[in-house]
Structure 1
Amino acid sequence: MAVAKILWVDDEMESLQSHIMFLQQKGYEVNALNNGHDAIDFVQQNPIDVVLLDESMPGITGLETLSKIKSINASIPVILVTKNETENLMDEAIGSQINDYLIKPVNPNQVLLSLKKIIDNKRLVAEKTTTAYQQDFRHLFMALNDNPKHQDWIEIYKKLVYWELEMEKADSPEMLEVFQTQKNEANTEFFKYVSKNYADWVSANAVDAPVMSHQLFQFKVLPHFEPGVPTFFILIDNLRYDQWKAIQPIFAESFRILEEDSFFSILPTATQYARNAIFAGLLPIDIEKKFPDLWKNDEDEGGKNLNEEIFIQEQLKRLRKSDLKFSYTKVLNHTQGQDLVNNVHNLLNNDLNVIVYNFVDMLSHARTEMEVLKELASDETSYRSVTRSWFEHSPLYQALKKISDKKIKLIVSTDHGSVRVKNPVKVIGDKQTTTNLRYKHGRNLNYENKDVLAFKDPKLAGLPVPTVNSSYIFAKEDNFLCYPNNYNYYANYYKNTFQHGGISLEEMVVPVIKMISKE
């Protein structure tokens, strides 16, 4: 390991010789200076890992020196050493981006601890994460083999996402490989679980079933209502649970998170099925029966989600909530996002405001088509990063910040997630077979049973029957469905893209988060 280079600046340097010797014995290279001007010159001419900076020095103060050092190299970590504990000083120092501060007289071990926290942080985090995951590995293994029920699967998936995010901080490729194997095993078992139980979940006599898309409003949204308090239901299209965790800290700045819940998306985990089910409060087969003129199958022309406002209205009537004053807003582009920012205060007059925000889905589709986005969102880590960056600067966040000082309730959810597909499998179908990569329906589908969950009778999956003898198949784990024609081209083109419609933890176990304003 390279020797860490420390610059210690203090006008009473002679009294700190024992501290310097202590740090040198611990393997640090320490350069000592007694004024800010020399420190600034030194930083300009030498590479430094950490600056220890006295706050009170004659000539040029510590804070002035700090400002100059940061203008030379903003990334140099600085530890402020001070006799002064006043709140104003601390606010000014923290605002100037110090990494730590110590109160005089300082103990050598205090200094060592602060240096370790800054210099060795990544290594220490990696070691701690590795040890903790090794301890939890067996618990996860046992949970996967203990016949988990739907609530257990939610907890397993949350735990897997937790470790995925911890691995990201630790930057340990070896442990990440072990983790990825365990996550793949979890998806293998989850596919078996869904295959065994899905038909029962969507049947009229469902027992011990998870809350699914068509029950979201009834069981997860409307019970959160409070008379006189506007409720905002925000549906961010195609938002995975790990993407929610990426934007959670931004929400937490303005809102108090009350409950971090989940539900199961219906199959196919695709917008026209899952989102229509959410707003209609019905399975797709029942939407088609009740609204034959409004339901569209995959092969039908025109938009598939154009009647969501009607579906919400009808569901509220059915649930005897038709007295609620509600609004529906769909944001498909930046201009509509700005309209939301400008008009959000007007929504405070409603009991319920439904806002559909379509960005993450556009990102996943655009990523498939555009090389630059393949680079920007090449894996799960960068996909989360792009999502966070978008949300932080989005009109949606601007709009929510404008009303964060009002007494409101906020529910953030999605229709389905997505999975990075890696393994192409062959499917043969006729000209009427749909083109989706994670699910297909058609009359003459030919496939390997081990690769998919098949419903020869769509009604058993709560789905309409598009044509006579039409059946549905759903891809498992990280498979994607390819035709034999130009097989190699499409297998390479779509490999490592984010897709949805099939069966995986990432697509089916999705977040519903309940918040209130902090005011």
Structure 2
Amino acid sequence: MNHINILWVDDEIDLLKPHILFLEQKNYKVTPCTSGTEALEILDDKNFDIVFLDENMPGLTGLETLHEIKEKRDTLPVVMITKSEEEYIMEEAIGNKIADYLIKPVNPNQILLSLKKNLDHSRLVSEKTTSNYQQEFRKIAMDLSMVNSYEEWVSLYQKLIYWEMQLENIEDTGMFEILESQKSEANTLFGKFIDKNYPRWFEPNTDAPTLSHNLFKDKVVPEISKEQPTLLVVIDNLRYDQWKAFEPIVNTYYKKKKEEAFFSILPTATQYARNAIFSGLMPADMEKMHPNLWKNDTDDGGKNLYEEEFLEAQLKRLGLKNITSKYFKITNLRSGKQLVDNFKTLKENDLTVVVYNFVDMLSHSKTEMDVVKELASTDKAYRSLTQSWFKNSPLLEMIQQAQQMGFKLIITTDHGTINVKNPSKVIGDKDTSLNLRYKTGRSLTYEDKDVLVAKDPKSIHLPALNMSSSFIFAKNDLFFAYPNNYNHYVGYYRNTYQHGGVSLEEMIIPFVVLEPK
């Protein structure tokens, strides 16, 4: 085994002989020296894993030596040892990035703990995480065989996300692969569960989760009050794990009042799910009640141009005429910055709604696919991209301002998204919709095992384009591909993020209510 090399600097080093012997028995190699000047000379010639540094020495003080060490070797961990508990020394040392702080007299176990904490930390964390997941793995496997309600699916999915985020920081790829296969198995079973239960969720008096079209009435309205302004942020395409990735940043300004999951309706696509949130209606009813606002897949023009009108109509229908609301849609950096500049004026409204088009923000041109493909080829990379986008976005500035102005904050989304890996062949006529995870059209030919089918769209409250049109939704990580130009198409879309179909990632999404700190 390689020795860990320790440089121990103390003008009374002789008194530390027992400690040094103790460490050497544990296979650590200790180089003793008696002054800061000597330490700096030794560091010029030799590499060390860690330095123990006495604060109170004649000549160069501990703090001065620390400063010099950091100039030479910025990343070398230094543990400060001192007799004095004076605050300025601690602050100075911490400001200079010490790795640890021990107060004399130190005992050997404190030293050992400090070494473990600083040198073995990543290995220990990774071993602990791995063994914890191994235990949890069996439990998840058992749960998977028994899951039978939407609540159980939510908690299982949250558990999988938790472990995915724990395991992503360790080097053990084997564990990660096991988790990936568990996620895939979960999605297969989830597809069957949705197939069996989804149509039933629309029947009166059934035990059903909150769905897109009930979200506003059941979850948002109870939070709106005349006493405190509310900021409702709907981030397009936000998966549950992406919310978890930037939640710590939000927690600097807001404390969580509640976090729950709800289910996106099918198709898990913006024009269906987000319009359903704002109108409080399922797509078939939107088409019926607002023929001038609803657009079908085959219609020309933008499909989400009337969210503000849908929202006004819903507020009116719910008898909330006295609620003053304002709606903004942010699709580029400029409009985001503009809203930040005018944010102060929004305090007078009871409800401010901001729709934030996250994926559009990552790039402005039609090559957004390539950009996301390049920067986010895995879920881990996608989370990390989300986090750095959020950290530098006008959205965070809005949240900071909202906190200062005492806004209640609600963060949610319209649907999630899944990294698609495998093609599934589909044939349709020229009027078939273009989406890669769902298709609607007249004469669709498809692989039965790959899809969830709605032969009668009305049974799941979707508009039928004509008498014989049906909907199909891709399951697991599949995407639809036409036989002509098949290979080019498959090469282009494999490993990209898509939505519209049936998966845990697309359907189970966060609804979070926060109060300003």
TM-score, normalised by the number of residues in structure 1: 0.95
For structure 1, the residue ranges without an aligned partner over 5 or more in a row are none
Correspondences of 1:316-327 after superposition (within 5 Å): 316-327=315-326
> Residue 169 of structure 1 aligns to a residue in which SS?
coil
Paired position in structure 2 for 1:213: 212
Distance 1:320 1:47, change over 3 A: farther
Correspondences of 1:61-76 after superposition (within 5 Å): 61-76=61-76
Distance 1:479 1:331, change over 3 A: same
1:5-40 Cα offsets, whole Å, 9 max, x none, are 222223322222222222222222223333334434
Paired position in structure 2 for 1:4: 4
**For the Cα contact (< 8 Å) 2:333–2:361, is it kept in 1?**
no
Q: How far apart in 2 are the matches of 1:44 and 1:328?
A: 62
| Correspondence 1:56 to 2:56 | yes
**For the Cα contact (< 8 Å) 1:230–1:352, is it kept in 2?**
yes
1:224-252 Cα offsets, whole Å, 9 max, x none, are 23431111111111111111111011011
Paired position in structure 1 for 2:21: 21
For structure 2, the residue ranges without an aligned partner over 5 or more in a row are none
> Residue 501 of structure 2 aligns to a residue in which SS?
coil
Paired position in structure 2 for 1:475: 474
| Correspondence 1:125 to 2:120 | no
Q: How far apart in 1 are the matches of 2:73 and 2:219?
A: 49
Identical columns (%) = 54
Q: How far apart in 2 are the matches of 1:91 and 1:366?
A: 49
| Correspondence 1:288 to 2:281 | no
Q: Compute the displacement of 1:304 (Å).
A: 1.2
| Correspondence 1:94 to 2:105 | no
**For the Cα contact (< 8 Å) 1:235–1:355, is it kept in 2?**
yes
Q: Compute the displacement of 1:44 (Å).
A: 4.8
Q: How far apart in 2 are the matches of 1:98 and 1:368?
A: 45
1:261-314 Cα offsets, whole Å, 9 max, x none, are 110001111111111111111111111111101111122222111111111111
| Correspondence 1:300 to 2:299 | yes
**For the Cα contact (< 8 Å) 1:6–1:29, is it kept in 2?**
yes
Distance 1:172 1:160, change over 3 A: same
Moved more, 426-435 or 44-53: 44-53
Distance 1:65 1:331, change over 3 A: farther
Q: How far apart in 2 are the matches of 1:365 and 1:414?
A: 21
Moved more, 192-201 or 486-495: 486-495
> Residue 134 of structure 2 aligns to a residue in which SS?
helix
Q: How far apart in 2 are the matches of 1:364 and 1:182?
A: 32
Q: Compute the displacement of 1:396 (Å).
A: 1.0
Letter in structure 2 aligned against 1:21: L
Moved more, 454-463 or 20-29: 20-29
Q: How far apart in 1 are the matches of 2:462 and 2:345?
A: 38
Correspondences of 1:53-452 after superposition (within 5 Å): 53-203=53-203, 205=204, 207-360=206-359, 362-363=361-362, 371=370, 373-452=372-451
Paired position in structure 2 for 1:30: 30
1:319-358 Cα offsets, whole Å, 9 max, x none, are 2222111111211111111112212222122111111111
Paired position in structure 1 for 2:504: 505
1:336-395 Cα offsets, whole Å, 9 max, x none, are 111122122221221111111112355499797565643421211111111111111111
**For the Cα contact (< 8 Å) 1:425–1:481, is it kept in 2?**
yes
Distance 1:312 1:46, change over 3 A: farther
Q: Compute the displacement of 1:442 (Å).
A: 1.0
Q: How far apart in 2 are the matches of 1:497 and 1:368?
A: 12
Distance 1:460 1:372, change over 3 A: closer
Letter in structure 1 aligned against 2:344: H
Letter in structure 1 aligned against 2:285: D
Letter in structure 2 aligned against 1:124: L
Distance 1:58 1:333, change over 3 A: farther
Distance 1:11 1:472, change over 3 A: same
Q: How far apart in 2 are the matches of 1:327 and 1:90?
A: 50
> Residue 168 of structure 2 aligns to a residue in which SS?
helix
> Residue 122 of structure 1 aligns to a residue in which SS?
helix
Q: Compute the displacement of 1:410 (Å).
A: 0.7
Distance 1:238 1:372, change over 3 A: closer
**For the Cα contact (< 8 Å) 2:418–2:503, is it kept in 1?**
yes
> Residue 129 of structure 1 aligns to a residue in which SS?
helix
Q: Compute the displacement of 1:436 (Å).
A: 1.1
Distance 1:24 1:440, change over 3 A: same
Q: How far apart in 1 are the matches of 2:310 and 2:384?
A: 34
Distance 1:470 1:101, change over 3 A: same
Letter in structure 1 aligned against 2:391: E
Q: How far apart in 2 are the matches of 1:197 and 1:18?
A: 69
Q: How far apart in 1 are the matches of 2:451 and 2:89?
A: 63
**For the Cα contact (< 8 Å) 1:368–1:374, is it kept in 2?**
no
> Residue 294 of structure 2 aligns to a residue in which SS?
coil
Q: How far apart in 2 are the matches of 1:382 and 1:366?
A: 21
Q: Compute the displacement of 1:404 (Å).
A: 2.0
Distance 1:337 1:87, change over 3 A: farther
Q: How far apart in 1 are the matches of 2:235 and 2:86?
A: 44
Q: Compute the displacement of 1:89 (Å).
A: 3.6
Task: Tell me the number of residue pairs that the alignment of Structure 1 and Structure 2 aligns.
Answer: 517
| Correspondence 1:465 to 2:443 | no
Q: Compute the displacement of 1:85 (Å).
A: 2.7
Q: How far apart in 1 are the matches of 2:508 and 2:364?
A: 20
Q: How far apart in 2 are the matches of 1:303 and 1:367?
A: 15
Distance 1:257 1:389, change over 3 A: same
1:170-228 Cα offsets, whole Å, 9 max, x none, are 3211111111111111111110000111111134x250010011111112212123431
**For the Cα contact (< 8 Å) 1:238–1:415, is it kept in 2?**
yes
Instruction: Give the aligned CA root-mean-square deviation in angstroms.
Output: 2.0
Q: How far apart in 2 are the matches of 1:43 and 1:398?
A: 45
**For the Cα contact (< 8 Å) 1:280–1:312, is it kept in 2?**
yes
Distance 1:200 1:103, change over 3 A: same
> Residue 427 of structure 2 aligns to a residue in which SS?
coil
